[in-house]
Structure 1
Amino acid sequence: MPAAYASPRAKPKWSLICSVVVLAGRIGRLVVLLLAAMPSHLAAQDGSPLALRLSQTVPERMARDGVPGAVIVVIEGAAPVWTGFFGMAAPAAGAPMTAEALFRVESISKPVTAWGAMRLAETGRLDLDAPIDDCLTRWRLPEGADPITPRALLSHSAGIGLGDYAARFPPQGPKPGLPEHIAQDFSLIATPGSGFSYSDTGYNLLELVIEDCTSEDFAALMVHEVLSPLGMPGASFDWTGADMPVGHDLRGRPVSAYVYPGRASGGLHATAADIARFAIAGMAGAEQSVLSPEGVAGLHRAEVAVGGLFAFAAEGYALGHFTETLSDGRHAVWHGGQGYGWMSHMHLVPETGDGIVILSNSQRAWPLFAAILQDWSDSLGVEPVGMSRVLLAERAARIGIALGLLVGALGIWMASRTGRRLRFARLTAGGVGAALIIWPLWATAQDYLFLFSILPGLWPWLGAASSLAGLGLSALALAPERQR
């Protein structure tokens, strides 16, 4: 060992240096957290109650859930009236969030793609109700498969599986072509037209249909048919290499840039202002040259009822839009997006011109979005929109944590007071206890679970409480019986 480390006289010096380094690190982390929790700026200042409320809600929720950054645009009367940008675009570099930040908007790509498909339909270049095999040249449906139409792809009623949402590739690296990706990713899980089945693969297949029908690259077509006419200069379905915020995964770790093999389902990059312009184009009476009022209405009219977890937040799915009826009877349409390190949401009430756009560079942002939507709903004078129900999971989790702690403590206490117990009761306690211990260990080893998204800050506590309950029940099952 070097003399400097072995000398007793050197210890105080190195101890002091180490203490200073540790303290500096802690101060640095604290500064980053404080910056992330503070609003970077509030543009288009509006003294409305909603603006003031969001200025409090957003930093509080970001700090609670570990969300580094967010940009929000509030729309009233079919015009943006308030923009707030909060936290950090790149915490490690100390870069603050800006209103002009370019985001991966993930599945908000789907309603934009739907506008492109409807534009082609209204200009006679795509028949929404004809079999897609009429257009496809680079890939075909499996032999014997029932016909599928573009309308079915747009409404997630084609019976196609979700697809491999983890198929990500470096922007400048090799990746499979779209036909090859679909050949690997395509699976029929239900008869076309039999019901709702959310599918990224279905939208990527629609991208292939559009390209084969028009003999034009999808991203280029979307620029001149939809994005440019709607005034979305920052938006692109192609990777632009622009300086973007750093995405963060469910554990708060930074995410490297990536692209998908398909673009129609989740490949759009855009600013919050771009998505706000897109939302405004869908309002009643909006001045835009892309679609007729009938075409826009067709995109917003429900085609199929949704089921499963989606039913907690929506009633139906139209063409690229979820639908719901507000508590005052108004019709609302919306779409959200979640990707690796990114989340997005767009909600609009077309008949009154109200809307909101929320983008974040964190996959931990669902509770934040739900809290924002709850405040927005209150400003409209209606009950919270369906996506706000994510917050109900937090209440249920807190109850679960309390019950887990209670069961664990009670089981350990009862095990310490040995007595006679039925064999069946001991086996049951042991089996339930083992399950309560094992599932958090299994969950921790997973890259993604729905539970992680809706409870980013609470699921570790829920897992710990479950493990404690399991230990209590296991102790109760294993404790020796008192001899009579």
Structure 2
Amino acid sequence: MKRFIFWTLGTLVILVAWVTVNFVATTEGWGLTPLAEPGDTIGFTRAISNEARTEAKGNLVLAVLNSGKVVHSDAMSTGKPVSDKSVFGVASLSKWVTAVGVMQLAQQGKLDLDVPVSTYLTRWQLPPSEFDNNKVTLRLLLSHTAGITDGLGHSGFAPGEPVQALESHLTQAMDADPGKSGKVQVGIEPGTTWMYSGGSYNLTQLIVEEVTGESFAQYMQKAVFEPLGMTHSSFILDRADPTVAQYFGENGVEQVYPNYTSLAATGLYTTLSDLVRFANAQLPSTVADPAMPRLLSDSSLADMRTPIANIDGLDIWGTGIMLFAPNGKGDNVVGHGGQSPYLNSTVRIDPASGDGFIAIQSGNKEALASNLATHWTTWKTGKPDIYVLGNTFPAMIMRVLTGAVVILVTAIALGIFTGLRRKRANR
């Protein structure tokens, strides 16, 4: 019996060690190869521009920030030249900008992030559900943990088509991505699970309009863009603006930006230079470029970075902000990305150093801007970001399960073999 217990405990120790090593190796990024040595800014910027120019199939602009200041920028296009002043659609990057507008209202005492959203709604209400809708708060909406199960995704409306009214869109979005319900409703217990929800930001958009008495686009122009000097940014695209970048689609064919009901979720148009100003405004005052204007207090910014959503033991989302990877200073590299067909944008910042990376592109089916930002995160932190982990976790789980089966089969086989040998020796 003692031998059996010892054998069982030994097998369990090996199993635990196998699982632990694989988990640590995956989450710590063992085997990741940065584009340059830590601290080698010149080497990294040269490598990242080479990668961008090799992979870009349409147009792309990027910037690398040290202590909030641009130390490297690049622009490339197969068509009309682009620059840091070219206007791009940035898709879901809109959500972070929206969250900053909401945090301003909270900082001014006009909104409470932690009361039922019904407190502020008169034009539309969440439909009845099997769950308590009063548990849905703005903080949960902004962190995709409110239990809203729309899964949106918005395709928008072609120029010349009627744009669906916001209340109607909340009830049933006519431009929902294929396979999505298009209905903003509570389908999961609020506060229990992370599920990406563009509809949560549509509801946030309505709350902003209810509280301010202005259209969402007007409020964001006055409260965010004008104070930050983001003179080329808007939630309403000026199609006659000659600085609007071409939107390249499949095989380099130019396509037209749609119109959106879902402005807060995906409707922002902006430039690289404006995003530099926005990124600085999200940095703590101790590391931001002092020449850049600010909106939120350091405590409000820290509140946004506080983890809310967690998957597989990893913090992934705060209040309107993505947590990409630990920065080794008790915080995370944070930011947001956006992706539409053949369009991708990303902004990432390290609140400990003020360093950052920004990229916008169109023409690539894959998320080129985000892939470039992943290289930056690996170079700055030595760790994988949440996109890398999302791709490597399934392989890790399969490797762990396969290894566990091998360990158990080997242990059983060795146990049987050892037992047979012992019986023979005792005859």
Q: For the superposition of Structure 1 and Structure 2, which TM-score range results when normalised by the shorter chain? A: 0.7 to 0.9
Query: Is 2:97 the counterpart of 1:112?
Result: yes
The worse-fitting range, judged by mean Cα deviation, of 166-175 and 221-230 is: 166-175
Q: Which residue of 2 aligns with 1:160?
A: 148
Q: Which residue of 2 aligns with 1:16?
A: none
8 Å CA contact retained: 1:326, 1:382 = no
- How big is each residue's C-alpha offset from its partner over 1:76-108, in whole Å with a ceiling of 9 and x where there is no partner? 0111111100123xx3xxx22222211111111
1:250-261 alignment, distance < 5 Å? 252-261=252-261
Q: Which residue of 1 aligns with 2:133?
A: 146
2:55 aligned residue (43, 50, 61) = 61
**Higher relative contact order by CA 8 Å / sep ≥ 6: 1 or 2?**
2
The worse-fitting range, judged by mean Cα deviation, of 168-177 and 123-132 is: 168-177
- Residue type matched to 1:200 in 2? G
1:6-405 alignment, distance < 5 Å? 48-62=42-56, 67-88=57-78, 91=79, 95-143=80-128, 145-147=132-134, 148-184=136-172, 185-241=183-239, 242-243=241-242, 244-249=244-249, 252-285=252-285, 286=288, 288-306=293-311, 315-326=315-326, 328-329=328-329, 330-367=331-368, 369-370=370-371, 372-377=372-377, 379-380=379-380, 382-388=382-388
Structure 1 Cα separation of the partners of residues 217 and 223 of structure 2 = 10
Structure 1 Cα separation of the partners of residues 223 and 41 of structure 2 = 37
- In structure 2, the gaps of 5 or more residues are 1-39, 173-182, 397-427
8 Å CA contact retained: 1:255, 1:340 = no
8 Å CA contact retained: 2:358, 2:373 = no
Q: Sort the Cα spacing of 1:162 and 1:250 in 2 relative to 1 into closer, same or farther, 3 A.
A: farther
TM-score, L = length of structure 2: 0.72
- Residue type matched to 2:68 in 1? A
Structure 1 Cα separation of the partners of residues 381 and 303 of structure 2 = 27
Q: Sort the Cα spacing of 1:211 and 1:334 in 2 relative to 1 into closer, same or farther, 3 A.
A: same
Deviation at residue 146 of structure 1 after TM alignment:
1.9
Q: Sort the Cα spacing of 1:151 and 1:60 in 2 relative to 1 into closer, same or farther, 3 A.
A: same
Kindly name which structure, 1 or 2, has the bigger radius of gyration based on alpha carbons. Answer: 1
- Residue type matched to 2:355 in 1? D
Structure 2 Cα separation of the partners of residues 56 and 143 of structure 1 = 53
8 Å CA contact retained: 1:171, 1:239 = no
Q: Sort the Cα spacing of 1:59 and 1:305 in 2 relative to 1 into closer, same or farther, 3 A.
A: same
TM-score, L = length of structure 1: 0.64
Deviation at residue 163 of structure 1 after TM alignment:
4.2
8 Å CA contact retained: 2:142, 2:320 = yes
**What is the SS of the residue equivalent to 2:344?**
strand
Q: Sort the Cα spacing of 1:374 and 1:215 in 2 relative to 1 into closer, same or farther, 3 A.
A: closer
Deviation at residue 186 of structure 1 after TM alignment:
1.5
8 Å CA contact retained: 2:247, 2:254 = yes
Q: Sort the Cα spacing of 1:365 and 1:98 in 2 relative to 1 into closer, same or farther, 3 A.
A: farther
Q: Sort the Cα spacing of 1:328 and 1:246 in 2 relative to 1 into closer, same or farther, 3 A.
A: same
- How big is each residue's C-alpha offset from its partner over 1:272-328, in whole Å with a ceiling of 9 and x where there is no partner? 111121111111213544211111111111112146xxx9xx732101111144364
